Copies of this chain bind each other. A is one copy, B any other.
Amino acid sequence: MCKVLDKINTPKDLKVLSRNELIQLCGEIRQQMIWRLSATGGHVGSNLAIIEATVALHYVFNSPVDKIIFDVSHQCYTHKLLTGRKAAYTDPAKFSSVSGFTNPAESEHDIFSIGHTSTAISLACGMAKGRDVKGECHNVIALVGDGALSGGEAFEGLNNAAALGSNIILIINDNDMSIAENHGGLYQNLRLLRETDGRADCNFFRALGFDYSFVRDGNDFNEIVAALEKVKDTDHPVVIHMCTVKGKGYRFAETDKENWHYMGPFDIDTGNPRQGVVPAETYEALTAAYLTDKMRIDPAVTAITAGTPKVLGFEEELRNQFPKQFVDVGIAEGHAVAMISGIAKAGGKPVFGVSSSFLQRTYDQLSSDLALNHSPAVILVFFAGIGGGSQTHMGVFDISLAANIPGIVYLAPTCKEEYFSMLEWGLNQTEHPVIIRVPGATTVSRDAVLLSEYSYPAKYEIVEHGTTVAILALGKFFKLGESVRQKLLAEHGINATLINPRYASVVDKTMLGALPEYGHRLIVTLEDGVIDGGFGEKVTRFYGASSVKVLNFGAKKEFVNHVAAEEQYGRYHLTENQIISDILELL
């Protein structure tokens, strides 16, 4: 059935095809991709939009001599299929042989490991500069979505790419969508350009100095090939502004673009998710319910997202209910943190929800804009902890990066009751920047001792009184601490003390100081994050000059790509039996 696709193994195979065969190939890839995505899930919308452009890129240019860099790279499936990895999209046994992002370990056609947005233009600038100083001669191309243009790094890249003075080709893939809808002044200019076929005088890209051309239908193979051939081997920076349809060719994805940005396995005919088990309760939904209750009675309460409203539980309907108090700043996490500092200074009560992996895009804003100004804003960190996903989106670095900034109260609740108790305090206090680490993906309930305030000095919670060993089990790992304690008691007769530290950023000196007096000789810290620079090391330092011994458990400082969480636990000595064995060795 897949007549043309069968012949394609490398980009070179494209060069001998007729135009009709190439167009047929795009159709075949689309059907193949829908079938594959229906089985595995993935980034549906962006990949269906970019099939023609990707085939055209590999037809016109000469990868890997010419360098093609995909921003975010969640739209790289066709690129992978064309560059020696076809089986990953045709053979179910090989589905997991590739990741969803570009990765140099997979192919010489993948220049960088990329997963965060807005980086490709800067990386391409570097590739072009490296080429120029070495006196080489090839094309450097970056493919960037319209949604990524709101990110500061993309603008820094554009500003510098425009002044590069040599070959760099930026393809702006404008499907008029970010993950959700776009936000910001730039997007009315993109709309104006779309509506005028790129002819409007006021042109963001020309203002920056780019040679600009417009592709009305980026899903028309001939049109995109013509545009690429025109700029191939250019001696100056160019922008091709290309319009595509997100979800192109699959009606459900075309209609409901936001929900089909990323989708798990689905039924092709109905578009219904295959794995229909939706958790009864999620932190996202609970958070949205909590915040909207507050927003209804207090206009000062504002919820902020940087392009990922669903992380905070704000589905479209909810966003429409709170047009003033819910703010999506687009993919611009740094701005979001500075903005909540401003809102808090003005007497508002801002809550910014962000994934752990993207919190790292805000270090300077956390420090300079927020913490230095003691702004009482709240940041909720979702998807933190060891996971089985891509090395580009790990959730283990947030404590190390944010909890060492002066003045930030970094809280790690163990359960939903404690999470909302901390959020309630954070929202109503007026002195501290507060970060709360949402405890995992599935909700946990526990009879935690709740406080009316979580300011400094820190007060840890002693959950079980024991002796000899004290287990400090932070946040989501509290459950692990509970199991270790039970097993130590049941199997080894050791009655350990169990402590919920509540805070990731500081130690409770009073409690830690008292533990040795009550017969504790070994302190164990458990945290769902990298140990380096994390919570446990603070505890170890506290006891550095004493004879108390401390064992820190957590993740190793390394990038991990698609390794199941359970396997990582084993590697890091984070299973109950490993922890117990390490404890016994020291007693």
Contacts and interface: CB of A to CB of B under 8 A. Distances in A.
A124 interface: yes
A507 to B, nearest CB: 10
Contacts of A208: 184-186, 189, 204
29 contacts: A114-B368, A119-B338, A122-B365, A122-B369, A126-B348, A127-B346, A134-B346, A134-B348, A152-B154, A152-B155, A153-B334, A155-B155, A156-B335, A159-B184, A159-B335, A160-B332, A160-B339, A161-B185, A185-B208, A186-B207, A201-B202, A202-B202, A363-B364, A372-B392, A397-B404, A404-B533, A406-B557, A545-B550, A547-B549
A55 interface: no
B153 A365 contact: yes
B163 A159 contact: no
A392 to B, nearest CB: 7
B404 A532 contact: yes
Nearest to A391: B372
The listed residue with most B CB atoms (<10 A of its CB), out of A126, A159, A340, is: A126
Contacts of A134: 299-300, 346-348
A126 B365 contact: no
A123 interface: yes
Contacts of A530: 404
A123 B160 contact: no
A383 B361 CA distance: 23
A344 interface: yes
The listed residue with most B CB atoms (<10 A of its CB), out of A114, A158, A557, is: A557
A394 to B, nearest CB: 9
Contact of A160 (B202, B329, B365, B368): B329
Contact of A299 (B133, B346, B364): B133
Contacts of A532: 403-404, 533, 538
A578 B441 CA distance: 48
Interface residues of A, number: 121
Contacts of A551: 544-545
A119 B335 CA distance: 8
A338 B153 contact: yes
A54 interface: no
Contacts of A206: 202
Contacts of A543: 544
Interface in A84-130: 104, 111-116, 119, 122-130
B157 A186 contact: no
Interface in A382-415: 391-392, 397, 400-401, 403-407
A343 interface: yes
